[in-house]
């Protein structure tokens, strides 16, 4: 009698509601903490939507979602550790993140080896998903972004030559810089007159910039994270450079304006979506995010939202929930591979055989008020 009531208290009578556990591998501290925070905010919004409705309906039954956020400190080695922790200790059925290619490339390898489906919302380096059947992404790729930047700059600035400064220890920055260089040269647009690198922890770029400016480029391409952009732009102006800068999707953070200020105004960068002037579901998302967190969602927040959407669709494709995470992971992977196209708030995309989406890029101008204004949309 006593034993039975003890069991009852412990919940032996009713079956505990099974949850679907998804892990998040995010840079909550380190070089790009804003990226982690934005992704987490978007995920919390999604989680609340689903769980307030009683959970996710799979195979006629509702299962609550459970999100586990872990900090990868914006480091490559921590990102693989976080992936392993999520897989082995938390037993998640799928992982969203890491965002930056620097972490997504190594963590993608870990997830693929352990046969866990992973979606990187923001990584644009081809190596993240290359020959990795378990790894997917929500963002376009650098081999697409590089030519977009080259074409736009050639047209907008009437550029006959270009200079590049990039972070050599960041897969994203290095990969994009090289792709840009080869596409600029392949298009016969002129020479790349300076191709300078720096390290992640560097604060002084004046030696590199002196070389860049001495080569007298028509514009400088800076595929760097926002914190480095702020220093590079300022130091280039201090060294007397007057010309334009062109950036990549890693610029798209409200913090860029906070750190860089007026010196970044008037420059352009390619990105995944433009918040200003958005319509439809994108606008609904932006308004809700602004109301909840008090600032405009950057592209990684929107891409995280879409990544979760893709993941949910994969679970629905599988249409059942296993108690064994290994089984469930396999089901989700097949569900992901079965998705042929997806309409998200960052635009609609089709998936190719590598699990990479084919979608449009936008070029954004930083206005005189520090807003990211839509300039042009480029589709493959």
Partner 1 sequence: MDFIIQNILNALQWGSFYALIALGYTLVYGVLRLINFAHGDIFMVGAYIAFFVAGFLLGPALGLSPFMTFLLAVPLTMALTACVGVTLERIAYRPLRRKGAHRLYVVITALMCGLILEYSNLAVLGASRLKFPELVEKSIWHLGGVTITNLKVIVIVAAVVVFLFLNFIVTKTKIGMAMRGISYDKFAIPLMGIPIDSIIVFTFILGSGFAGLAGLLFAMSYPILEPFMGMLIGWKAFIAAVVGGIGDIKGAFVGGFLLGFIEVGVVAMPFLESTYKDLFGFTILLIILWIKPTGLFGMPQSTKI
Give the nearer residue to partner 1 in terms of CB position, either 28 or 310: 28
- Pick the binder of partner 1 from 186, 214, 284, 338 (CB under 8 A): 214
Provide CB contacts within 8 A for 142, sequence distance 6+.
124, 125, 126, 172, 175, 176, 179
- Pick the binder of partner 1 from 72, 120, 123, 208 (CB under 8 A): 208
Interface segment toward partner 1; rule CB under 8 A; list 1-9, 94-102, 205-213, 371-379: 205-213
Measuring CA to CA, which residue among 134, 137, 138, 139 is closest to residue 332?
A: 134
- Pick the binder of partner 1 from 8, 53, 168, 338 (CB under 8 A): 168
For 294, other C-beta atoms within 10 Å of its C-beta total 7
Strand order in the sheet with 347-351: 341-344, 347-351, 357-358
- Pick the binder of partner 1 from 65, 82, 116, 230 (CB under 8 A): 230
- Pick the binder of partner 1 from 77, 238, 334, 343 (CB under 8 A): 238
Give the nearer residue to partner 1 in terms of CB position, either 204 or 290: 204
How does DSSP assign 42-77, residue by residue?
HHHHHHHHHHHTTSEEETTEEE-EEEEEEE-TT-HH
To partner 1, the closest distance from the beta carbon of 64 in angstroms equals 30
- Pick the binder of partner 1 from 8, 12, 53, 207 (CB under 8 A): 207
The answer to whether residues 18 and 313 touch, using CB atoms and an 8 Å cutoff, is: no
Tell me the CA distances in angstroms from 103 to 83, 107, 138, one per residue in order: 10, 6, 15
The residues pairing with 166 across neighbouring beta strands, listed in sequence order, are 197
- Pick the binder of partner 1 from 187, 258, 283, 320 (CB under 8 A): 258
What tokens were used for 61? 């039954």
- Pick the binder of partner 1 from 29, 51, 182, 354 (CB under 8 A): 29
Interface with partner 1, residue 255, by CB under 8 A? yes
Give the nearer residue to partner 1 in terms of CB position, either 169 or 182: 169
131 secondary structure, DSSP code: T
Give the nearer residue to partner 1 in terms of CB position, either 171 or 356: 171
Give the nearer residue to partner 1 in terms of CB position, either 47 or 215: 215
H or E segment at 29? none
Interface with partner 1, residue 239, by CB under 8 A? yes
Query: Counting runs of H as helices and runs of E as strands, what totals does the chain give?
Result: 12, 17
Q: Dihedrals φ, ψ of 364, to 5°? A: -120, 140
Torsion of CA 248, 252, 256, 261, to 10 degrees: 90
The answer to whether residues 233 and 211 touch, using CB atoms and an 8 Å cutoff, is: no
Interface with partner 1, residue 28, by CB under 8 A? yes
The answer to whether residues 24 and 37 touch, using CB atoms and an 8 Å cutoff, is: no
Interface segment toward partner 1; rule CB under 8 A; list 84-92, 223-231, 289-297, 343-351: 223-231
Give the nearer residue to partner 1 in terms of CB position, either 116 or 209: 209
Interface segment toward partner 1; rule CB under 8 A; list 11-19, 146-154, 193-201, 277-285: 193-201
To partner 1, the closest distance from the beta carbon of 197 in angstroms equals 5
17 secondary structure, DSSP code: P
Distance CA 171, CA 71 (A): 19
- Give how far the C-alpha of residue 205 lies from the chain's centroid of Cα atoms, to the nearest Å: 26
Interface with partner 1, residue 196, by CB under 8 A? yes
Interface segment toward partner 1; rule CB under 8 A; list 82-90, 237-245, 285-293, 349-357: 237-245
- How many residues bind to partner 1 according to rule CB under 8 A? 34
Distance CA 261, CA 257 (A): 5
To partner 1, the closest distance from the beta carbon of 208 in angstroms equals 6
- Pick the binder of partner 1 from 19, 30, 143, 156 (CB under 8 A): 30
Residues near partner 1 (CB under 8 A) are 28-30, 33-34, 37, 168-169, 196-199, 201-204, 206-208, 210-211, 214, 227, 230-231, 234, 237-240, 255, 258-259, 261
């Amino acid at each position: 009698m006593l034993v039975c009531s003890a069991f009852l208290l412990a919940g032996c009578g009713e079956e505990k509601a099974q949850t679907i556990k998804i892990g998040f591998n995010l840079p909550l501290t380190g070089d790009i903490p804003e990226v982690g925070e934005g992704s987490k905010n978007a995920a919390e919004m999604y989680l609340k939507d689903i769980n307030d409705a009683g959970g996710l309906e799979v195979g006629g039954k509702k299962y609550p979602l459970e999100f586990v956020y872990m900090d990868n400190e914006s480091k490559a080695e921590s990102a693989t550790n976080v992936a392993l922790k999520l897989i082995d200790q938390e037993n998640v059925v799928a992982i969203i993140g890491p965002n930056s290619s620097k972490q997504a490339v190594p963590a993608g390898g870990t997830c693929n080896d352990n046969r866990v489906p992973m979606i990187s919302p923001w990584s644009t380096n081809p190596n993240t998903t290359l020959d990795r059947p378990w790894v997917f992404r929500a963002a376009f790729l650098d081999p697409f972004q590089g030519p977009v930047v080259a074409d736009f700059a050639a047209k907008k600035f009437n550029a006959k030559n270009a200079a590049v400064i990039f972070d050599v220890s960041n897969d994203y920055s290095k990969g994009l810089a090289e792709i840009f260089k080869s596409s600029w040269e392949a298009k016969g647009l002129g020479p790349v007159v300076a191709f300078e690198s720096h390290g992640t922890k560097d604060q002084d770029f004046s030696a590199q910039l002196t070389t860049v400016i001495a080569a007298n480029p028509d514009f400088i391409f800076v595929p760097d994270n926002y914190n480095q952009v702020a220093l590079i732009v300022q130091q280039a102006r201090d060294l007397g450079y007057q010309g334009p800068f062109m950036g990549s999707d890693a610029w798209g953070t409200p913090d860029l304006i906070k750190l860089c200020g007026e010196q970044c105004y008037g420059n352009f960068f390619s990105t995944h979506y433009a918040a200003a002037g958005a319509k439809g579901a994108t606008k609904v998302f932006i308004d809700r995010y602004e109301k909840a967190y008090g600032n405009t969602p950057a592209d990684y927040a929107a891409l995280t939202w879409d990544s979760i959407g893709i993941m949910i669709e994969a679970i629905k494709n599988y249409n059942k929930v296993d108690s064994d995470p290994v089984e469930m992971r396999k089901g989700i992977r097949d569900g992901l591979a079965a998705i042929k196209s997806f309409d998200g708030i960052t635009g609609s995309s089709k998936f190719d055989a590598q699990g990479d989406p084919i979608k449009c890029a936008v070029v954004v101008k930083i206005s005189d008020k520090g807003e990211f204004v839509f300039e042009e949309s480029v589709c493959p």
